[in-house]
Chain A
Amino acid sequence: GQNIDQPTEMTATEGAIVQINCTYQTSGFNGLFWYQQHAGEAPTFLSYNVLDGLEEKGRFSSFLSRSKGYSYLLLKELQMKDSASYLCAVRNSNYQLIWGAGTKLIIKP
């Protein structure tokens, strides 16, 4: 079967750095997405990786290793507003999006 694994919950401190990991097993690969979802709100697009390496976008960076079936989302200089769930999703060879259950990130002062 196809699945995406990511930690259920993580806690970090305001101003610090946190890395959220995502491992995947899918039938083929056509890109990996990270979304942010605040409680009671819509998921919003954060990043897209299709080639190996690091994509940086402000305080957020996303890394991909296709050979390892692995990605991480790196959040720097954490702010209280970063408290949210972070969803990892992989597009397989049929262009279907396979979703992880999300990682709830709790930021403490």
Chain B
Amino acid sequence: ETGVTQTPRHLVMGMTNKKSLKCEQHLGHNAMYWYKQSAKKPLELMFVYNFKEQTENNSVPSRFSPECPNSSHLFLHLHTLQPEDSALYLCASSPREGDQETQYFGPGTRLLVL
């Protein structure tokens, strides 16, 4: 596979469930990002990892917990979510954080919290 992949593509969960989103990039990049995309709103940057170290946490509630075991994999662990957390969660990667390179996005996970 090439590019950035995300699993699952769709997820429905209750407010008491625990689930994880997975992102994998095959581009040899060193920076990975989690974004939240809600309808008619700008992309919201949630977390940034650069060379496996978290460099940004944009005041994201603790019910979202990222994990980056290596430069190719990124997880977002979810627990006790709220209905307003329903959105498209996008993963992206770039060669390094903060450089001039564009970011490459995965297809996203469409999350519905009931």
User: Which residues of chain A have a CB within 8 Å of any CB of chain B?
Assistant: 4, 8, 30-31, 33, 35, 40-45, 48, 50, 87, 89, 91, 94-102
Are A43 and B100 closer than 8 Å at their CB atoms? no
B103 surroundings in chain A (CB, below 8 A): 45, 97
User: Which residues of chain B have a CB within 8 Å of any CB of chain A?
Assistant: 4, 40-43, 45, 90, 97-100, 102-108, 110
Tell me the interface secondary structure of chain B in the complex: loop
Shortest distance between the CB of B54 and any CB in chain A (Å):
15
Q: List 6 A-B contacts (CB under 8 A).
A: A33-B102, A35-B105, A45-B103, A91-B100, A94-B98, A98-B42
* Cα distance, A33 to B82, chains bound together (Å): 32
Are B90 and A101 closer than 8 Å at their CB atoms? no
Are B45 and A101 closer than 8 Å at their CB atoms? no
Shortest distance between the CB of B49 and any CB in chain A (Å):
15
* Cα distance, A91 to B102, chains bound together (Å): 10
Are A41 and B107 closer than 8 Å at their CB atoms? yes
Are A43 and B90 closer than 8 Å at their CB atoms? yes
| Contact pick for B104, options A45, A94, A96, CB 8 Å | A45
B40 surroundings in chain A (CB, below 8 A): 8, 101-102
* Cα distance, A107 to B100, chains bound together (Å): 32
